[in-house]
């Protein structure tokens, strides 16, 4: 069940406690507690690891058997269990020699075009399904209507989600464009309507606690660098020593998303921390290196962040990428020029950057209602 479905269910069941049964590998159990259930909510909050997620209007708790039993006992007869929606398995395909050769041609072409290893792997998986569906006819003769019918079948019979659908279309597009040399119109396939979901953002207080949590100097420097410059995790591990341009006051991001170079801000406070870090660890080439040299592990960075989130009781659904979202939101709150922010984040379109204007905090502590200005210094009589 995706977040849109959860919100719809919450909207339709406003007076019932909803207990979302987690999938096998889910880290947390999601819970909806109606506003009127004040006593139950008060007791629920006393359980260790509970957290409220305001954007989803849901509570969550670490997924353990003990927690599952405890909250069911707490809720008594007042709750309803929401079963997870399990999509039907995708069909298993055995490719013919001809289809396997086509798959190899796609891989070769994508590698020559310097697509990332992850993208090549995803496209091969998608095209295995696609080639298997049409391997009894020439791929050059497959029509746009047939392709859209194939995608429609995967949606209706197998329940593929928007992300999967877009990846599949991108893979098909890459095949027709790079291998068969077809014009754009040939693979202009209908895409899913984009959901207008907002990125998760940490408060400034949460960011401060997370950044200060690591006792290890390298771990602290890693988190500080990601947040202070609005970096993606892949951009962080690819930073070289020469990318810290202390004289000019910026960080050079080489080959970011879309293989684009860009500049982003170099925090004065971060620079001081990085100097201390360099004196202690003496990295040779990469800014952050593993114990045996080479780039620092993405998996290790995620572990550092998860530990900091857990032990500071911050937003349990936050990821390392949430630091980037938080950087963008806090820049807007600090009145940073939108054009500067777009360049620092590496966005092609200002519309992508403008999304963060919807994530800023709105409350009476930072915005005055026009009512307050109208009534200010006036004597009111009831």
In the chain, domain spans:
3-82, 97-187, 204-358
CATH number given to 97-187: 1.10.150.130
- 294-226-203 Cα angle (round to 5): 150
Query: Exposed (0-12), middle (13-18) or buried (19+): which is 266, by Cβ within 10 Å?
Result: buried
Catalytic center residues: 232, 257, 321, 324, 347, 356
Task: Note whether 148 and 191 are within 8 A (CB).
Answer: no
Q: Which residues of 150-176 are buried (b: 16+ CB within 10 A; e: fewer)?
A: bbeebeeeeebeeebbebbbbbbbbbb
Supply the pLDDT for residue 322.
94
Q: What is the pLDDT of residue 121?
A: 92
Q: Counting every residue, how long is the chain?
A: 382
DSSP state of 217: H
CATH number of 204-358: 1.10.443.10
Distances (CA, A) of 306 to 10, 45, 228, 300, 309: 28, 21, 18, 10, 5
Q: What is the pLDDT of residue 316?
A: 83
Torsion of CA 334, 336, 342, 345, to 10 degrees: -50
Q: Per DSSP, which regions of the chain are E strands?
A: 17-20, 28-32, 51-53, 58-62, 79-82, 244-245, 250-253, 262-265
pLDDT in tens, the chain (382 residues): 555 555 555 555 557 889 998 887 788 899 999 888 889 999 998 888 888 887 678 899 988 889 999 999 999 888 888 887 665 677 788 899 999 999 999 999 999 988 888 889 999 999 999 999 999 888 888 888 899 899 999 888 888 888 888 899 999 999 988 888 887 665 667 776 665 567 789 999 999 999 999 999 999 999 999 999 999 999 999 999 999 999 999 999 998 887 789 999 999 999 999 999 999 999 999 999 998 888 999 999 999 999 999 899 888 889 999 999 999 999 999 899 999 999 999 998 898 888 888 877 766 666 676 766 766 766 655 4
Q: Please say whether the beta carbons of 330 and 204 come within 8 A.
A: yes
152-160 long-range contacts, CB within 8 A, separation 24+: 154/90, 154/129, 157/88, 158/87, 158/88, 158/89, 158/90, 158/91, 159/85, 159/87, 159/88, 160/87, 160/90
- Assign 52 to helix, strand or coil: strand
The Cα 321–Cα 329 span in angstroms is 13
Give the β-pairing of 262-265 and 250-253.
antiparallel
Same fold, 97-187 and 204-358: no
């Amino acid at each position: 069940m995706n977040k849109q479905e959860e919100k719809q269910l919450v909207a339709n069941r406003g007076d019932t406690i909803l207990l979302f049964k987690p999938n096998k590998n889910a880290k947390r159990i999601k819970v909806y507690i109606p506003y009127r259930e004040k006593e139950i909510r008060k007791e629920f909050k006393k359980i260790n690891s509970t957290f409220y997620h305001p954007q989803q209007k849901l509570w969550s708790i670490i997924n353990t058997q003990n927690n599952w039993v405890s909250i069911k006992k707490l809720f008594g007869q007042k709750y309803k269990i929401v079963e997870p929606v399990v999509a039907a398995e995708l069909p298993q395909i055995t490719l013919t020699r001809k289809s396997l050769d086509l798959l190899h041609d796609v891989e070769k072409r994508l590698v020559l075009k310097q697509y990332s290893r992850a993208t090549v792997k995803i496209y091969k998986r998608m095209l295995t399904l696609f080639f298997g569906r049409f391997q009894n006819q020439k791929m050059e003769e497959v029509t746009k209507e047939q392709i859209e019918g194939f995608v429609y079948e995967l949606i209706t019979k197998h329940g593929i989600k928007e992300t999967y659908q877009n990846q599949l279309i991108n893979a098909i597009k890459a095949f027709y464009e790079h291998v068969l040399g077809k014009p754009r119109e040939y693979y202009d396939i209908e895409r899913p309507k984009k959901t207008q979901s907002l990125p998760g953002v940490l408060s400034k207080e949460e960011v401060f606690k997370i950044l200060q949590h690591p006792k290890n100097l390298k771990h602290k420097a890693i988190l500080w660098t990601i947040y202070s410059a609005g970096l993606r995790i892949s951009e962080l591990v690819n930073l070289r020593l020469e990318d810290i341009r202390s004289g000019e006051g910026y960080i050079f991001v080489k080959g970011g998303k879309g293989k684009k170079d860009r500049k982003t801000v170099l925090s004065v406070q971060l620079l001081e921390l990085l100097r201390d870090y360099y004196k202690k660890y003496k990295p040779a080439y990469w800014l952050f290196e593993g114990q045996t040299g080479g780039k620092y592990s993405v998996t290790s960075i995620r572990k550092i962040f998860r530990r900091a989130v857990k032990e500071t009781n911050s937003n349990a659904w936050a990821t390392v990428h949430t630091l980037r979202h938080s950087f963008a939101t806090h820049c807007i709150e600090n009145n940073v020029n939108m054009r500067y922010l777009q360049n620092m984040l590496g966005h092609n379109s200002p519309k992508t950057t403008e999304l963060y204007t919807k994530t800023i905090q709105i409350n009476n502590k930072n915005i005055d209602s026009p009512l307050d200005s109208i009534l200010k210094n006036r004597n009111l009589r009831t």
